[in-house]
Structure 1
């Protein structure tokens, strides 16, 4: 069953068509989106986070690298959010029910966004998980990590922007 879910999500991510996009590059302004957070709040990016350093994090519960990184990001976010830093953890197309227990077990309190049908994930050209974008206060992408990262690298990229 887990393999079938993985294949279904990979097919969604690989989907070509009008909604598919190319991954934004360093220096680009990331595409805007409106998604719903796990707590039901509407998130309008970038309008609601203008002037903040934002980490856009694409992930899924089945991703073997996402679990530890999400815990690490929680620690960094807890220490740095009062400096004008926000994390938006965009789940790649899974159901809310599949995400709830995962998030609760990890103790994640930063915004986790639902991306039904992986529309935003495809718009951002995500080809593998996790994918992390660092967006500066000017609204431009300053860094991108595809795959797993360690805490030192994550902190260094963040500190450069704060």
Structure 2
């Protein structure tokens, strides 16, 4: 009889915990502030990230210039394929008021620096350690590239690998006249 009471008490406690967990999940889901979906024509969310050299990059500092934001990871095959093309396009456009800010998604400095060295990349390489910029831009697949015009508006969002010719066309499209 005592054993049955103990089991009943334990089962009741477990059931109460499960009900509380479900209620909490429903409450959080119902009251959470949904992320605004970013689309072409929207103002680009501002952010500050630090590159591998310790330099801070704040998007608003580039107002008046075109900016290509490229989200990537060292483990992403299309990201690896497009990096040399992006590097070449950067070399061509960096003195034409078109900036490249590459945003790695939460990997270590060591991993990113090895990648940069292996591919001999020359553009600013930042790391979004908390994934806050990734969330602000609603990035859910890599690579993801955002073209931002001189007014700070997103003109296009590309969610696939890009060739060198395409990078040049995109950079030309956001180059201030």
Q: Pick the TM interval, shorter chain.
A: 0.7 to 0.9
User: Aligned to 2:109, which of 72, 96, 120?
Assistant: 96
Q: Tell me by how many angstroms 1:158 deviates.
A: 1.7
Larger Rg: 2
After TM superposition, the structure 1 = structure 2 runs for residues 2-151 of structure 1, keeping only pairs within 5 Å, are: 21-46=35-60, 48-151=61-164
The TM-score normalised by the length of structure 1 is 0.83
SS at match of 1:77: helix
Q: Tell me by how many angstroms 1:153 deviates.
A: 2.1
Question: Once the two structures are superposed, what CA deviation does each residue of 1:17-45 show, in whole Å capped at 9, x if it has no partner?
Answer: 96983442111111111111111111111
- Please, which runs of 5 or more residues in structure 2 have no aligned partner? 1-28
Runs of 4+ in structure 1 deviating by more than 4 angstroms, as ranges, are 16-20
- Please, which runs of 5 or more residues in structure 1 have no aligned partner? 1-15
Counterpart Cα distance in 2 of 1:19 and 1:101? 38
Counterpart Cα distance in 2 of 1:125 and 1:94? 18
The TM-score normalised by the length of structure 2 is 0.77
- Structure number with the higher helix fraction is 2
